[in-house]
């Protein structure tokens, strides 16, 4: 895999701004899900984990 190094400062600034917008959106989405009682769902190495509102993490689906 070839790793390219960017030297265009405008491109770097734009990519950092896009990353920031994405991080803010994820944080807001997590907050809204917690307020609505919807568990957060993560996939790590192909295994699905659920973060319940009380902070517990489980592999058993809380959805019916």
**What tokens were used for 6?**
């960017």
Under the banding of pLDDT at 50, 70 and 90, the label for residue 24 is: very high
* Nearest by Cα to 32 from 53, 9, 62, 5: 53
Query: Rg for the chain (alpha carbons), in Å?
Result: 17
d(CA 16, CA 37): 32
The mean per-residue pLDDT over the stretch 9-29 comes to: 95
Per-domain residue ranges of the chain:
9-58
The mean per-residue pLDDT over the stretch 30-43 comes to: 94
d(CA 57, CA 59): 7
**Which position has the token pair 């517990």?**
56
pLDDT of 35 above 80: yes
Under the banding of pLDDT at 50, 70 and 90, the label for residue 3 is: confident
d(CA 57, CA 35): 17
């Amino acid at each position: 895999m070839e790793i390219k190094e960017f030297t265009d400062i405008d491109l770097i600034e734009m990519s950092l701004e896009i990353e920031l917008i994405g991080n803010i959106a994820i944080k807001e989405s997590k907050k809204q899900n917690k307020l609505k009682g919807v568990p957060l769902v993560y996939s790590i190495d192909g295994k699905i984990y659920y973060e319940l509102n009380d902070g517990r993490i489980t592999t058993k689906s809380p959805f019916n």
